Amino acid sequence: MQEEKNKIYTSALVIFWITFAFFIMIMAGMYLYIVPYIGIITGIPFRAVISILGIVLIILAAKAKFTKIAKVFFILTGASALGMGLSMILHNLVFALLIKLFGEGIWGGMGDEPVFFILATIVCPLTLLVGAIGSIVLIAKKKVKI
């Protein structure tokens, strides 16, 4: 039984660090223009991967025997990763659907669909950062034990 608990803890921590690494790469691709191949880093494969990692992190955090606050931070990180990936995809899908339904002049040359764009570029990254920092602090203080 103890071995199974260690597997869940270890898996949750590994998925957390992989999710955080993908988050850093996506943010670098979105906000730092020094990264080559920005389209690949912020493209659909990375969106799909961070969404899947978010789902896995939520499931593992829910199953793990973390403290209540650690569980909250890990689930917040996973939910934000999932939300960031889905919002990026939904932004493009809603934009394309509205153009298909109402024509290219729907936005009057002023931009495109703003709701999912704001979620994907501001809200979800900030909440992921809060969840990740909270989780890292708890890991550093040894509140999350393997």
pLDDT in tens, 85-134: 888 888 888 888 888 887 777 666 666 678 888 888 889 999 999 999 99
* Amino acid at site 92: N
Radius of gyration of the chain from its Cα atoms, rounded to whole angstroms: 18
Considering the chain, what is the average pLDDT of its residues? 81
Residues 12-36 have a mean pLDDT of 79
In the structure, what pLDDT confidence band is assigned to residue 29 with cuts at 50, 70 and 90? confident
Q: Indicate the burial class of 126 (C-beta count within 10 angstroms; 0-12, 13-18, 19 or more).
A: exposed
Q: Where are the domains of the chain?
A: 2-140
- Return d(Cα 17, Cα 35) in angstroms, integer: 21
Find the mean pLDDT for residues 36-52.
Answer: 70
How many Cβ atoms from other residues are within 10 Å of residue 143's Cβ?
14
Residue type, 114: P
Banded model confidence at residue 4, pLDDT cuts 50, 70, 90:
low
Q: What is the longest distance spanned by two Cα atoms in the chain? A: 61
Query: Between helices 44-63 and 2-31, what is the axis angle to 10°?
Result: 150
The mean pLDDT of 9-33, rounded to a whole number, is 82
Distances (CA, A) of 62 to 8, 9, 78, 103, 131: 10, 11, 11, 44, 15
DSSP 105: G
Question: How many degrees, rounded to 5, is the angle at CA 24 between CA 93 and CA 114?
Answer: 30
Task: Specify the pTM.
Answer: 0.80
Return the pLDDT at 130.
95
